[in-house]
Amino acid sequence: MTSYSSLTEREHDVLECTLQGLTVVQTSETLHLSTGAARDHLSSAVQKTATQTRREVARYAREKNWI
């Protein structure tokens, strides 16, 4: 698995939105990103943590106290 510092600031932001229950579209609007960029940041966080889904990566980040 990865460490807190290997995630970018935007990946952290996207994970926080995911934990709040926001969809990718809502996340993109909240963070003023395109929907594709929000998906890319989320996918990158999933890959870096070797998780499978956006909810799984958000739970993992919360368990590690990253967000």
Residues 30-50 pLDDT 10s: 999 999 999 999 999 999 888
What is the 8-class DSSP label of residue 4? G
Look at the chain and count its residues. Answer: 67
Which tokens belong to 26? Answer: 């809502």
pLDDT at 64: 86
Which tokens belong to 44? Answer: 């990158």
58 band by pLDDT with thresholds 50, 70 and 90: confident
Q: How far apart are CA 18 and CA 8, in angstroms?
A: 15
What is the 8-class DSSP label of residue 5? G
| pTM: predicted TM-score of the whole model, two decimal places | 0.85
pLDDT higher than threshold 90 for residue 4? no
pLDDT at 65: 85
